[in-house]
Amino acid sequence: MIGRTSAIAAAALIAFTGLAPSARADAVADFYKGKQISLIVGTSTGNDYDFRGRLLARHLGRFIPGNPTIIPRNMPGAGGINAANWLANVAPRDGTAIHMIMANMMNKQAVGVPGVKFDARQFSWIGNTTSTPNVTSAWHTSGVKTIQDAKERELIIGAPAGTAGEVYGAVMNALAGTKFKVVTGYPGGNEVNLAMERGEIQGRASNSWASWKSTRPNWVRDKKLIVLVQVALKRDPELKDIPTLIELVKSERDRKFMAFLSAETTVARALVAPPEVPADRINALRRAFDMTVKDPQFLADAAKMGGMDIQPMTGEEAQPIAHGIVNTSPDVIEYARKVLGNLLR
């Protein structure tokens, strides 16, 4: 009886869509055959977003019906907003454009940062390559070893303007009693790293733990970075002795606010598509992503890139997390705007 019911349901679905599953797959393959997909990275080159985007570009096309060529393109600007705006308003809505979205785009939308012209809830989430904490780190020569030290003496840390690092430093100063001096104006994370090496600054306000491991594995190995705090909903197993942003504050209101800031790390390196892409192509992209992140060639390539961590999440799992951040309760958003103040630019 169950088999007969399933057969009837399948027949009804075919009648409704007009296409059997094999026919729909063939239609997707016919569309993608000979085409190029632009994979947009909202940062400059040489960082973890860029590395992951290029890694996916090398492998994802093998698993998409029709085997399109995937071309990575960097579109930096406004802390990732430019690329997200492009995806929402300019990109073709046919499945030939995808985007390695910066993790804090949902937070920026929720608090109403000027310049946001996208709704992350309208993007189709293809998949997420890892959930990784952001970290605030001191350079090994700074003399600051713990977050408590940063409450007792000034630490000069760098961050590109408008990025999460600028926010984290200001928030910790306001709510946790730290004495960070955040220097902005750097065009990207690589320039912040160079400034640390030259002794111009004493640390970096924010970088993902995954990024440090993939872009500067020798710094991690040689303990040139002293991680002071991690931005995550819970402690990462590799950073089990490092407090989270949430742990630095005591009031329930402050803890909810810090959780709002930290939730983005759950979908830290996600791939999204524009609104209104046909459902069969979104499904094909999602299943291709799922196969890619389990593929031995892909994983071997990731391992060569400083042991890049891959903790995949499906698009269906990532989508409600992104929606939940944007839909954070109004009282938390109101408090966030009050705390962030002139950082909302």
Q: How far apart are CA 134 and CA 157, in angstroms?
A: 15
Burial class (CB within 10 angstroms; exposed 0-12, middle 13-18, buried 19+) of 67: middle
- DSSP letters of 5-64? HHHHHHHHHHHHHSS-HHHHHHHHHHHHTT-EEEEEESS-SSSHHHHHHHHHHHHGGGGS
The answer to whether residue 18 scores a pLDDT higher than 80 is no
Q: How many CB atoms lie within 10 A of CB 71?
A: 12
Query: Is 289 within 8 Å of 107 (Cβ atoms)?
Result: no
Dump pLDDT digits (tens) for 121-165: 999 999 999 999 999 999 999 999 999 999 999 999 999 887 888
Burial class (CB within 10 angstroms; exposed 0-12, middle 13-18, buried 19+) of 318: buried
Report all structural domains of the chain as residue ranges with CATH numbers, in order of start: 2-130+269-343 (3.40.190.150), 134-264 (3.40.190.10)
| pLDDT (0 to 100) of residue 343 | 77
Task: Indicate the range of 22-31, 43-52, 142-151, 189-198 predicted with least confidence.
Answer: 22-31
Give the confidence band of 8 by pLDDT, cuts at 50, 70, 90: very low
List, in sequence order, every beta strand (DSSP E) within 104-154.
124-128, 134-139
Q: How many CB atoms lie within 10 A of CB 279?
A: 11
The answer to whether residue 238 scores a pLDDT higher than 60 is yes
Q: Which residues contact 283 (CB under 8 A, 6 or more apart)?
A: none
Give the confidence band of 20 by pLDDT, cuts at 50, 70, 90: low
| Tokens standing for residue 190 | 């690589």
Q: What is the pTM of this model?
A: 0.85
Q: In 3-state terms, what secondary structure has residue 72?
A: strand
**H-helix segments, 67-216:** 81-89, 105-111, 147-152, 164-176, 189-198, 209-215
The answer to whether residue 327 scores a pLDDT higher than 50 is yes
Q: How far apart are CA 124 and CA 316, in angstroms?
A: 9
Gyration radius from the chain CA atoms: 21
